[in-house]
Chain A
C-alpha cells in the first residue's frame, strides 16, 4: 500500500528552527508537496520538490531524497503565526496525491 508518515505533533520556541520530517512509500513518484493549514482555514501551498536537494524560499526550505523516500520542511526564525498543521503529499505514478495526516506545530513564546 501507499503510505506517508510524519510526526503528529511538534513543539518549538519562537525564534528557533524546526525540522518536520516526512517519509513516503508510494507507487512511483512525481513530486512532493508541502502545505500549511491554519486551524479552520484552507491548506495553502508552501513548496514543491521533484529533484533531490534543498529548495529555499525565505524562512522556509524543503529537502528531498528520492532514494531514501524522505523529505523535510525546515522553518527558521519561527514566529507565532507559524503555529499550524503542515501537510506532506506525494504525487504517485498515476499523478494522484497521497497525503500524510499532517504535523501540528505549536510555537511557544
Chain B
C-alpha cells in the first residue's frame, strides 16, 4: 500500500478528446510530481508542485495542463494529445521538494495511469 492513488488506471482516448488524470496522496506530504514513463526509457519528470506552487515544468507541451488545488490532490488535464503521448503516467509525492537531502526526500509513487492515444 503506497498511500498514493491514481485514477483511472487505464485510459484510451482519441486525439480530439479532453480527459483528466487524478492523483491523491494520503501521506501528509507537501510535494507532488507527474512523471511520464515510456518503455525502456528513464522516467521523465513533467511537473512538480511544492506546497501547491508549481516549481518545475520541464518543457512539457501545453496539451498537458497540471492543476494542484491542495497538497493532497493533483490533476493532469489532457487535450488534443498525440499518439506519441501514449505512456504510463505516474504520480508521486514526497515530504518536501526542497529538503536538503536524506531518505526523507523519498518519493512515493501511485500505480499509474496507462494512457493510449489513438
Contact = CB atoms under 8 A, between A and B. Distances in A.
A11 interface: no
Interface stretch (A64-72, A73-81, A94-102): A94-102
A86 interface: no
B17 interface: no
B101 A91 contact: yes
- Secondary structure class of chain B's binding surface, majority of residues: loop
Interface residues of B, number: 25
A74 B103 CA distance: 19
Contacts of B114: 40
Contacts, number: 57
A91 B90 contact: no
A97 B110 contact: no
A91 B40 CA distance: 21
Interface in A1-59: 4, 8, 30-31, 33, 35, 40-45, 48, 50
B102 interface: yes
Interface residues of A, number: 25
A107 interface: no
Interface string B6-22: 00000000000000000
Given A95-B101, A96-B45, A100-B42, A48 B109 contact: no
20 contacts: A30-B101, A31-B102, A33-B106, A35-B109, A40-B114, A42-B2, A43-B43, A43-B90, A44-B109, A48-B102, A48-B106, A50-B101, A91-B101, A95-B97, A95-B101, A96-B45, A96-B56, A98-B42, A99-B42, A101-B40
Interface of B: 2, 4, 40-43, 45, 56, 90, 97-103, 105-112, 114
